[in-house]
Amino acid sequence: MPRTAVPSSVRWLIGMELARHRNTAGVTLAEAARLSGIPKPSIGHLESGRMRQDADQIFTLLSGYQTDWAEIDRLTALAARADEAAWWAPWARVVPDWFATFVGLEGLAIDEFVYEPTLVPELLQTADYARGLTEASPLVPPAHRERHVGLRMARAARLDDAAAPLGLHAVITEAALRLVVGDPEQHRDQLRHLMDMSERDNVVIQILRPEDGQHAAAHGRVTILGLGDAPSLVYLEVPHGAVYLSDPQDVETYMVVAESLQRVALDVDDSAALLTSMISG
């Protein structure tokens, strides 16, 4: 059965922003069609990202919603990037659509915060660690395992981008670091890799221990993408899918969660000391 075409991450992001501005203005799809002269079904396709949004359409719609000029300029500039080739295209057929969208958005991000209670965050995994996880997962067909590992390594390469490295702030639980994936030596290699990554200017790693006390992240893994050209997004994985939160109040709530985690977790130096003791012990 042919796979349904997935909108580019930029088109998806613009569509989400168009819908957010329309809802903020209290305008229905029918009213938007009347204000803009764009057919109601077409507006729905523009908001879903299935139809390419051109600058004139964005200007017409947002003007009708009385959106401020800075927002209109920002989205029209973003539209110019909508047809950029997806760098992750070689892996498009081995990952679900919802995850392909996230990978594309991550490629647009300038910074990322992740709280990982169970595993080493994906951007900080070694190839052996990633391979161990995929081999143990019933959701990854054996024929696709190496391609999943390759995608994970390609995503992590953003941290090495000399021109525009991704800024990463990771809060990882001690339990996640003590989980052995692969053999003991591969586990130590993973811990050494975390030590090496923590020494980079664009990577901050904090470890959260049970004895450090309560924090606000009761929902499991949290990822916040700082997109630069668009408002930040919160990404939450659920079984067989993902939830994106873009409403400013929702994003602010998770920013508070992130601040709580950073405040409760060990600081950078103490986290490095704990990592060192785990490697040697």
The answer on pLDDT for 92 being more than 50 is yes
Q: In the structure, what pLDDT confidence band is assigned to residue 9 with cuts at 50, 70 and 90?
A: confident
Query: Span 238-256, mean pLDDT?
Result: 86
Q: What is the CATH number of domain 9-79?
A: 1.10.260.40
pLDDT at 117 over 80: yes
pLDDT at 3: 34
How large is the average pLDDT for residues 143-153? 89
Q: Letter for the amino acid at 33? A: A
Question: Where residue 85 falls among pLDDT bands split at 50, 70, 90?
Answer: low
pLDDT given at position 231: 83
Q: How far is residue 242's CA from residue 220's CA, in Å, rounded to a whole number? A: 13
User: What is the distance between the alpha carbons of residues 275 and 263, in angstroms, rounded to a whole number?
Assistant: 19
Helix (H) or strand (E) holding 233, with range, is strand 233-238
- Say what the pTM is: 0.82
CATH 3.40.190 for domain 94-280, yes or no, is no
Over 60: is that where the pLDDT of 1 sits?
no
State how far the Cα of 218 lies from the Cα of 165, in Å rounded to an integer: 30
Domain locations in the chain?
Answer: 9-79, 94-280
